[in-house]
Amino acid sequence: MKFDNWVMLPTNEKAPLILDNIKSKPRLLINTSPTNSLRDGYSFQHLYFLSDEEIKKGDWYIDDNILVRKSITSVKDYWMVRKDCKKIIAATDKSLVTEGKCWCMKPERGGCFDCNKPLPQPSESFIEAFVEYYNKLTPNQK
């Protein structure tokens, strides 16, 4: 499901949200299961929050096919023809990391800091409110 400023996509990995497609009205659930298995009709979901900000090399974005990709360029002409791409500014997907400048120290002194950091993530209270909002507004689709 895609809107202008967010998209929810299925994943095969354990995620904080589960979409229940069994009933006539799909409903979103908060994942409280300690396992990676789901029953039929359920799917793990991630939320991605989008922006019209300029996409630069190393940024994560959603392309026009609704796929998550990592930018390999900052060339403005490249992005001018890809107007349907949106920069991901936050996500529940912890695998999306930014590549910061690495100021590594010796391992015995604590290792790296300011290296690869996950994108900002929504708070638990935001996810709870989002699930409630989604379930209230999602029309019957079957």
Higher local confidence (pLDDT), 2 or 32 = 32
pLDDT reading at 89 higher than 60: yes
Give the E-state strand segments of the chain in sequence order.
6-11, 17-20, 27-30, 42-51, 60-62, 68-70, 86-91, 97-99, 116-118
Higher local confidence (pLDDT), 110 or 125 = 125
* pLDDT band per the 50, 70, 90 thresholds, residue 114: low
Question: Amino acid letter at 118?
Answer: P
* pLDDT band per the 50, 70, 90 thresholds, residue 37: confident
Per the listing, tokens 């589960």 go with 18
